[in-house]
Amino acid sequence: MRSADLSLKRRLWAFRGIVILVFMIFAFQMWRLQIVEGERYQMLADRNRFRLAPIEAARGVIYDRHGRILVQNIPSFAVTIIPAYLPEDEQEAMAVFSRLSALLGIPASTAAASAGRPPFLPPKVGGERGRGLKEMVDEARDAAPYRPLTLKTNVDRDTVFIIEEEHLDLPGVLIEIDPIRQYPSGELVSHIIGYMGHIPGEQAESYAERGYDPNNDQVGLTGVELTFEEELRGSKGSKYSEVDVAGREIRAVGDPQPPLLGHNLILTIDLDLQQFTEEALRQGMEKAESAFGETSPSSVEAASRVESGVAIVMNPQTGEILSFVSLPSYDNNLFASGISQEDWAQLIGDPGKPLVNHAISGQYPPGSAFKIVPAAAALEEGIVNRRTTLTCQGTLWLPNKYFPDDPELAQQFYCWIHKYDRGHGSLNIIQAIAHSCDIFFYQIAGGLEEFQGLGLERLSEYARSFGLGQPTGIDLPGEARGLVPTKKWKRLNYSESWATGDTYNVAIGQGFILVTPLQLLNATTVVANGGTLYRPQLVYQVTDADGQVIRPFTPEVLGQIPVSQENLALVREGLRAAVEWGTGWGANLEGVAVAGKTGTAEYPGPRDDEGHLPTHAWFTAFAPAEEPEIALVVFVAGGGDGDATAVPIATDILRYYFDIPEPQPTPTPESDSPE
């Protein structure tokens, strides 16, 4: 009996010891949780309870030079998700993703995204990122679990109402009201303005270093939206708020830090002139397209369709761009609201390449419009003067340099007028520019027998001083350099030596030389203003939200060409003669003296029924000739003759600018044909 009592007492003591030990463990754990790690758990609890949310800054507005709105912000619903508030259970989380996928049209996972996504759709356009919701959220959870992740912008009201009604089944999913871009002028200025989109993946790190959120923020991707990103973006504000278990705001805590609004841009563009320029170019392109069918219906395909065109108007005294049109264009509102796969496929499938800014990215042979460069160079180098005359018989035979006495080895070059079985006869520099005589320019550039021409090195040097072969520096991304060829360039690219015939071709804007329409216009303004090469500019002023000027317009001089005023005056005289009685006669206006140069540039392509290569149409001009207010260039790819296609377009623009009524029809004295 005593033994049983002793055993019972031992068990009681053991039980008491266990109870005391458990209480000690509980006490220790409470001490550790409340005292040792109390601050950390309090911080975690507060993180669940309170949220620091960014307040988006309104992006700057963009105006034309007269204050008309080209870009503005409009309120829009955005669906965001806070990864930390999603269910921890994977199946429950996938149920949320599946429901959002059905509502937003974004795949629930990357596997689903890859299965239904065409390979040509660009990543991160609008709400479509090329990744599934799960992968997007997992990435954001690792980086910032309590920061809202934007899933889709510009969500319609019906979808927003459904999400709000189902918010208990969609933990962490929130509706935000964010501004999105609206482009009232759409296609009219899309190549200038550009559009916005999500930060490209390959640039995420660099943007993050500048304070952007790669998962949420949108940035300018093209146009001035990109080049003036820093001025337009503004600075985000922030606010503290108390939230419930689903991450929804209950009340604000403290005073929010307001955002700093982005700066506004006032462009140099005149919207009315831009509208008229676009209409004139479009109508001219349509007429050129129709002319192919009317003149040679059986060779329409061979003659090359008119698919793109450019018209730019500039102030030659400052570099201000007054109108800037590249056709075909596109509606940048498609990107503001998240472009669909169908719209994207249509844009990239268009043979005219509407997403390409042909004014700065297209590189083309300039044809005879280039002749202003060898004319100025030959005068300055003393190759010719005002009284020098050279003879054009319609054809020129260039002797073989190794066998100069063998006529069978000589190479034949033509002037455009040879198709009439005649030449221009004896011409001086003024007449050669006016009549666009190819043989005259062959000789002053490459020489002939005892007559010494410029040679490639000097011709190329002058071409570069006119701004060719290098970007102009305009406020737009994607500008091409063009090409001013050298002997080394040909050797590296063709494994051939440079020949005099190559210099002949360059002299008339053919062969290897390539320019962008804006480069050719810039070269024209150099002649117009007396030798100053300006950087073309699209932004007149940068102002703050209160209208105060932050950055005024200042003409930016890139250089002075090494040509005397006397010689430039001779070139201007030749350009004026070209419009008065030469190849550009169609631009001769009453009351305003116009100076200009046509160009008809052959390019590789299917020949027509008569064996001719397709041609681009050019015309570049300035007016008034003595004290020019504007300079312009018109280019129509595959448009045929410069005088037939480009001159009428430019003439319409000049009439509009100077408010000159339409004249009565006049007979045609002369036509510039393919050179």
Could you report the per-residue pLDDT of 299-346, keeping only the tens digit for each?
444 444 788 999 999 999 999 999 999 999 999 999 987 788 889 999
Domains of the chain: 50-244+252-267 (3.90.1310.10), 271-366+376-383+455-658 (3.40.710.10)
Closest by CA to 453, choosing from 526, 502, 513, is 502
Q: Greater confidence, 117 or 428?
A: 428
Asked if the model's pLDDT at residue 265 lies above 60, the reply is: yes
The percentage of the chain sitting over the pLDDT mark of 70, rounded to a whole number, equals 87
Please state whether beta strands 62-63 and 264-267 pair in parallel, antiparallel, or not at all (unpaired): parallel
Helices (H), 77-149: 90-104, 110-116, 133-143
List of residues 6+ apart from 334 with CB closer than 8 A? 340, 343, 347
Q: Which segment of 53-57, 94-98, 364-368, 494-498 scores lowest on mean pLDDT?
A: 53-57
Asked if the model's pLDDT at residue 461 lies above 60, the reply is: yes
**Mean pLDDT score, 420-438:** 95
The confidence score (pLDDT) of residue 467 equals 97
What is the chain's mean pLDDT, rounded?
86
Coil vs helix vs strand at 379: helix
Q: Pull the structure tokens for residue 320.
A: 């201000």
**Mean pLDDT score, 425-447:** 96
Adjacent-strand bridge partners of 173: 81
The percentage of the chain sitting over the pLDDT mark of 90, rounded to a whole number, equals 57
Per 3-state DSSP, what percentage of the chain is helix, strand, and coil (rounded to 5)? 40, 20, 35
Please, what sign has the CA dihedral across residues 15, 20, 23, 29?
Answer: negative
Q: Which segment of 136-140, 237-241, 568-572, 642-646 scores lowest on mean pLDDT?
A: 237-241
The confidence score (pLDDT) of residue 129 equals 47
The confidence score (pLDDT) of residue 72 equals 93
In tens, the pLDDT along 168-202 reads 888 888 888 888 899 999 999 999 999 998 888 88
The confidence score (pLDDT) of residue 476 equals 96
Asked if the peptide bond before residue 328 counts as cis, ω within 30 degrees of 0, the response is yes
Which among 185, 329, 368, 460 is annotated as catalytic? 368
In tens, the pLDDT along 407-425 reads 777 889 999 999 889 999 9
Q: Pull the structure tokens for residue 258.
A: 């307001």
Asked if the model's pLDDT at residue 543 lies above 50, the reply is: yes
Q: Pull the structure tokens for residue 619.
A: 């015309």
CB 115 within 8 Å of CB 130:
no
3-state per-residue secondary structure call for 123-137: CCECCECCCCHHHHH
Residue 18 — pLDDT band, cuts 50, 70, 90? confident
- Name the burial class of residue 613, with classes exposed (0-12), middle (13-18) and buried (19+) by CB atoms within 10 angstroms of its CB: middle
Estimate to the nearest angstrom the gap between the alpha carbon of 635 and the chain centroid: 17
The confidence score (pLDDT) of residue 579 equals 97
pTM: 0.85
Q: Which segment of 6-20, 259-273, 499-513, 639-653 scores lowest on mean pLDDT?
A: 6-20
Q: Please give the angle made by the CA atoms of 642, 643 and 644, to the nearest 5 degrees.
A: 95
Q: 368 an active-site residue? A: yes
3-state per-residue secondary structure call for 247-301: CCEEEEEEEEECCECCCEEEECCCHHHHHHHHHHHHHHHHHHHHHHHHHCHHHCC
Q: Give the span between the Cα atoms of 437 and 497, in whole angstroms.
A: 27
CB 234 within 8 Å of CB 31:
no
